[in-house]
Amino acid sequence: MKLLIAAATTVLVASQAFAGSYEVRCETTKVPYQETVKGGTPEKVIGGAIIGGVLGKVVTKENAGAAAGAIIGGAVANETSKRTVTKYKDVETCTNVFIPERVTDEETLRQTLLDLNDGKSVSKEMIMDVQYTIGVGHDGKWGPRSKLAAEKYLADLAPDAPLYSLVVNDVVIVSSADASAIDQIKQALLEAGVDSHIFVDLQQ
């Protein structure tokens, strides 16, 4: 039983193999930060020291008091001169980015397109490879644009396959090799009260 599980896992991994590869890409940006700058200009510090010295001598009547006052005055002037400035530093951010590549094996591409349009599970990397190959935005999400591009691509791969066209009031709304997709659109239009017709290999 374990051997069967291992074999099934191997087949799944092989079917999900993708052409692209991951690359580490880095970019450097400048990030702002706040920094407190200590100390004022020499004029402010000296001015504070002089004022402190004069006051110290007046209060104590001694030179020692003047010296102490000068130190305190200078320290106060220096402390009150602190300010916050905005600076910038370079920060490097690195991410692991998937770089899609073209799927060169036609059968792999065809089967993957069919699986995706049938709603089957396919790895994000493989979806991006397929999207890159058929010429749509490779975001790894299989939406309406990717589905329509896949249908057109499948029709080009098999030129002899019938092409189904949905017509409303003599105007071709959409054409696809996928008959079920065309029928679903027809049913949706019918529910909305719009009458439409399906033609095979319609000549325009």
Q: What are the residue ranges spanned by the domains of the chain? A: 15-34+85-157, 163-201
Question: How far is Cα 131 from Cα 129, in angstroms, rounded to an integer?
Answer: 6
Res. 140 pLDDT band, cuts 50 70 90? very high
With CA atoms as reference, report the closest residue to 39 among 87, 79, 85, 69.
79
Q: What is the pLDDT of residue 26?
A: 93
> Residue 46: pLDDT above 70?
no
Question: How far is Cα 155 from Cα 195, in angstroms, rounded to an integer?
Answer: 26
Res. 5 pLDDT band, cuts 50 70 90? very low
> Residue 2: pLDDT above 80?
no
> Residue 177: pLDDT above 90?
no
Is residue 77 within 8 A of residue 44, CB to CB? The reply is yes
Model pTM?
0.47
Share of the chain above pLDDT 70, in %: 67
The H or E element spanning position 50 is helix 42-60
What length does the chain have?
Answer: 204
List all residues 6 or more positions away from 11 whose beta carbon is below 8 Å from its beta carbon: none
Res. 18 pLDDT band, cuts 50 70 90? confident
